[in-house]
Structure 1
Amino acid sequence: MKRDNRAWLMGFQIIMNIIGGMIAAYGLESVLIPNSVSDGGITGISIVVSQLTGIPLGVFLGILNIPFVYLGYKQIGKSFAILSVTGIASLSVGTVIMHHVPTIIDGDTLLVTVVGGIILGLGMGLSLRNGGALDGIDMLAVLLSKKLPFGTSDLILFLNVFVFIVVSTVFGLQGAVLSAIAYFIASKVIHIVEEGLSGAKTFKIITSVPDVMVETVRDRLGRSATLNQIQGAYSKECYYEITCVINRLEERKMKEIINQVDPEAFVVVYEVSEVKGGNFRKRDIH
């Protein structure tokens, strides 16, 4: 039974990676490339080489990503490699199929970068959400970060700066700047697709009235919380720290509750990338 579930899940993820690749291909061929706007990463380099040689973009998307798929296989695992190959193949074939589709936006640079970035980010985010990847530059950054004294995000930024310099040789400075903007928008959309629109946040609240705070949060927001006794490092006084995980839509309500119950409370709020187990599912409130 478990084997059947794994096979069904793998099949579903493969289909989602194919759809993600096709969506990204549509964004490239119907919005970005016809308006001399590129993307970052291996996709951006592939676009430049395709423009210089006249060879279809899909060929370079497939060839240039091969070493990074192998790297993903070694660093992450077989299923990631299989799903990435599926997504990249879909993206490559999709750019060939959609090469002559009508351009949906022409001339409006702001609209081109926004719409193109959204479509591209939607496709890439769908692939990442389902265990694959459509571009190999992130894996390269992970590998280099282990050998160089730089973080992964710093290396991704540096590598993409190099890509956009290369893009400027074909699309000009304006094209490179627009490509960078489209890439930024796509990265934000990828994050939304991966994490969802609601997301989650953790509130850590240090208050002098912990019992009232916990009861109010439970009654008015339908959320439970954990309570820990802590001690001030200098004052040596004992306090209580409340930890509560909520979704982003409940953030304003939580802040109102804190302000009403204890305006002097010390509050720290931070993003949560994933929540599993426990009783995160809130109870109904009326």
Structure 2
Amino acid sequence: MNLRSEAKNISLILLGILSAGMGLKGFLLSSHFIDGGVTGISMLLTHIFGIPLSLLIVILNLPFIFMGYRYVGHVFAIKSSLAIIGLSLVLLFVSFPDVTPDKMLTAIFGGVFIGLGIGLAMRGGAVLDGTEIAAVLVSKNYPLLKVSDVILILNIFIFCLATVFLGVEVALYSILTYFAASKMIDFLLHGIEQYTGVTIVSAQSEEIRLAITEKLGRGVTIYQGKRGFGKRGDNNLAIDIIFTVVTRLEIPALRKEIKAIDPKAFLIQQSIDDTDGGMVKRRPLH
């Protein structure tokens, strides 16, 4: 076990707990706004029945932690259990200032702090909300449903209940909180350097390969294909196809280089959630 790596993960989880606690106690609870997922259900039940949020967050997440233990692993389950208990203790014993009475600022920054907390915890190898675990398992059992679809359906149900019990205005502000949290989580997990895979089909593949590797400092993979038009047996049917991975910020420069070499080049772009190995980080140019 890499102690330095584990210390970093623990630090991320602790920061995530404090950030989520700030979002909940410093912004949302005083205005009766809620978030999505298990946290949102816990907050809704707190507002309706007066049950302490610190208790509900632990109880409602227990089934999802058990799922995580069975399908992800014991290390993940232990980390997530401790993280959720830590959040519960923070909500119970740590005081946070009630930052602002402004509803719009409360909704947005409450979501930002919660999203920051959840994202930091996920980077540390834990979760503060079991919704993601449940969504992944449901999508595995029902292939027609994507993870995002399951989360969306659950949150529509939660916000419909919020409309009934808390009022339309509170529900609308809560939806804004959820979107702010989601965007913050996406930013933390994927960041500004979210990678994009680019496939390039061009007769001038060698010149394009050199431009990508020498000018942009990116690695490429070359694989052979055949054109889908023209007469069978045509000697020009075989063609080299280039695949490279760049950040979103590098796409304009990549397109400019390609179009300067071959204005008719065919490009396909696709989002990539994560990468590992290979020359993903930009190579220093000399």
TM-score by length of 1: 0.90
For this pair of structures, how many residues does the alignment match? 280
Of 111, 120, 128 in structure 2, the residue corresponding to residue 117 of structure 1 is: 111
The answer as to whether partners of 1:21 and 1:90 remain within 8 angstroms in 2 is yes
Correspondence 1:272 to 2:267: no
Question: 1:213 Cα deviation (Å)?
Answer: 0.9
Partner residue in 1 for 2:27:
31
User: Over aligned residues, Cα RMSD in angstroms?
Assistant: 1.9
Partner residue in 1 for 2:47:
51
TM-score by length of 2: 0.90
Of 65, 75, 84 in structure 1, the residue corresponding to residue 61 of structure 2 is: 65
The answer as to whether partners of 2:103 and 2:173 remain within 8 angstroms in 1 is no
The answer as to whether partners of 1:35 and 1:107 remain within 8 angstroms in 2 is no
Q: Distance in 1 between matches of 2:151 and 2:107?
A: 20
Correspondence 1:40 to 2:36: yes
Query: Which 5+ residue runs of structure 1 have no aligned equivalent?
Result: none
Question: 1:77 Cα deviation (Å)?
Answer: 0.8
Question: 1:285 Cα deviation (Å)?
Answer: 2.5
Of 120, 135, 139 in structure 2, the residue corresponding to residue 145 of structure 1 is: 139
Q: SS state of the match for residue 245, structure 1? A: strand
Question: 1:125 Cα deviation (Å)?
Answer: 0.5
Correspondence 1:1-286 to 2 at 5 A? 3=1, 5=2, 7-98=3-94, 101-109=96-104, 111-148=105-142, 150-235=145-230, 237-285=237-285
Question: 1:124 Cα deviation (Å)?
Answer: 0.3
Query: Which 5+ residue runs of structure 2 have no aligned equivalent?
Result: none
Q: SS state of the match for residue 283, structure 1? A: coil
Residues 101 and 69 of structure 1: is their aligned pair in 2 closer, same or farther, counting only changes over 3 Å? Answer: same
Tell me the percent identity. Answer: 32
1:170-213, Cα deviation, whole Å (9 max, x unpaired): 32111112212211221121111112321211111101111111
Q: SS state of the match for residue 263, structure 2? A: coil
